Amino acid sequence: MLFNTLRYAEFFAAVFVGSWALVRFAGIRARVVFLLLVSYGFYAAWDWRYLPLIFASSTVDFLLARAIAREARPRARRAMLIATVALNLGFLGFFKYWNFALENAAALRALLTGEPASVGHAFRVLLPPVGISFFTFESMSYVIDVYRGELPPHRSYLRYLLFVAFFPHLVAGPIVRPRDLLPQFERAPSLTREEGGEGLFLVAIGLVKKVVLSDQLALNLVDRVFERPENYSALEVLAGVYGYAAQIYCDFSGYTDIAIGSALLLGVRFPKNFDAPYKAQNLADFWRRWHISLSTWLRDYLYIPLGGNRGSELATYRNLMITMLLGGLWHGASWNFVFWGFLHGLGLAVTRAFQRAVRRRRPEGEGAGTAARSSLAGFPIRALCVLLTFHYVCLAWVFFRVPTFSQAVLILRQIGTLTTFHPNLPPVLVALLAVALLSHYVPERLYERARGAFIAAPAPLQGALLFLVAVSLHEAASAAAVPFVYFQF
């Protein structure tokens, strides 16, 4: 059930009315049960066969967390933690990476024996359950937090099941921490006029990003260029790479806007997941702005446990590289994703080394006053850093997008021809690409003013604006709804 379909709008309208009616006439517990049932129904609409998986994994983690909290013996607690991590990663590995492992084993056998590489269909598993990477990380983080003593075990089994399965974040995040979401299911929900206006604003913005910008760039530029780059000039292929950077941002941040807005309309607030990532001045800054819920999860549950930056510089670089390699593999069962993670790990290591070198060379006593005086003079340098960071991210996106390394090499080689004819770049397409990328540089205060103006507007004016958005979406929509990019992860 895609967010960008009429079916979801009908589903959400029914959930909205039912949820708030239950709050008024039946109480919080009835609302929790209702939201849990509709969330399971939402997931079953994708593939009902995987519904027992999400239920079973949630149940096991709930029970293990309670057992860990009761247990005083360190070895027993650690054994139960290892058990829950092994179960969660086992589920994730089997469904997401089994076919990948078989294909690589077949390729290695073919290399050693000279026989053709093939994997029998009897050994393949079903397609991975949608959203398994997201709900696995959320449930696993709950048990880890209980083990660390950062969170008490939750008392309500039903509320915990809802935390994992709550439909706005179930399929593609954001990865919501238990300490942020579970308390919201404990208290009576509320929906002020301002929160309702903010929720509608976010849903509308998310749909525009997805349908008007992302889908149009994908269908009319990105998909064509990446499928047959040899048919296009260097300028057109470069525009296709820029287009993919814009597409994946508008697609994923658009999904997140709709998810946050949908949850807010139900009285639940999710954390921010994007912050104009292409404004980043270096790769570390990029990861503070891109998919924030994943980058902070990797930091807190992988990078820091590995040692973070507490050891030697070499150990820190190793920890960065391991984190990003596994972050790449998290995205999908492909060596392209692993290489994408390698590029980001390498970039983060170089960024850290450069920043340390600059700090060592900075004269003692240089402080905030000096920095303020040089702010204007440093603008060209900052702009250059933004430009370099963006292009490095785009280089990595090439390997993220293509199915094979040879296809990535073909795209980069085509850009290297430096040809400039561009019959496949009509002005309207260039304008869409410019809007999608330059919107990053709109001052935050202007966005806040637009949001505030919509929230403060009378209901009839809000309705009229939403109607205009709906008309624009209808005119821009393709014949069939285009799935969100991150649904594959």
Catalytically active residues, by annotation: 331
Task: Tell me how far apart the alpha carbons of residues 55 and 117 are, in angstroms, rounded to a whole number.
Answer: 37
Residue 375 makes CB contacts below 8 A (sequence gap 6+) with none
Burial 375-388 (b: 16+ CB within 10 A, else e): eeeeeeeeeeebee
SS3 state of residue 71:
coil
Task: Tell me how far apart the alpha carbons of residues 306 and 287 are, in angstroms, rounded to a whole number.
Answer: 18
Residue 473 makes CB contacts below 8 A (sequence gap 6+) with 207, 208, 211, 212
State the residue for tokens 């049932």: 37
**Distance from the Cα of residue 488 to its chain's centroid:** 11
Amino acid at 192: T
Task: Tell me how far apart the alpha carbons of residues 285 and 221 are, in angstroms, rounded to a whole number.
Answer: 28
State the residue for tokens 């593939």: 47
Task: Tell me how far apart the alpha carbons of residues 479 and 474 are, in angstroms, rounded to a whole number.
Answer: 10
* 373 exposure class (CB count in 10 Å sphere: 0-12, 13-18, 19+): exposed
Going from the C-alpha of 252 to that of each of 248, 423, 434, the distances in angstroms are 6, 29, 18
Helical ranges in 149-177 per DSSP H: 157-165, 167-170
Nearest to 403 by CA among 117, 192, 141, 100: 100
Task: Tell me how far apart the alpha carbons of residues 77 and 64 are, in angstroms, rounded to a whole number.
Answer: 9
Phi, psi of 403 (to 5 degrees): -80, -25
Burial 154-163 (b: 16+ CB within 10 A, else e): beeeebbbbb
State the residue for tokens 């069939």: 480
Quickly list DSSP for 369-405: HHHHHTTTTTHHHHHHHHHHHHHHHHHHHHHHH-SSH
Amino acid at 140: M
**Distance from the Cα of residue 260 to its chain's centroid:** 13
The two tokens of residue 452 are: 């505030």
Task: Tell me how far apart the alpha carbons of residues 12 and 265 are, in angstroms, rounded to a whole number.
Answer: 10
Residue 109 makes CB contacts below 8 A (sequence gap 6+) with 115, 117
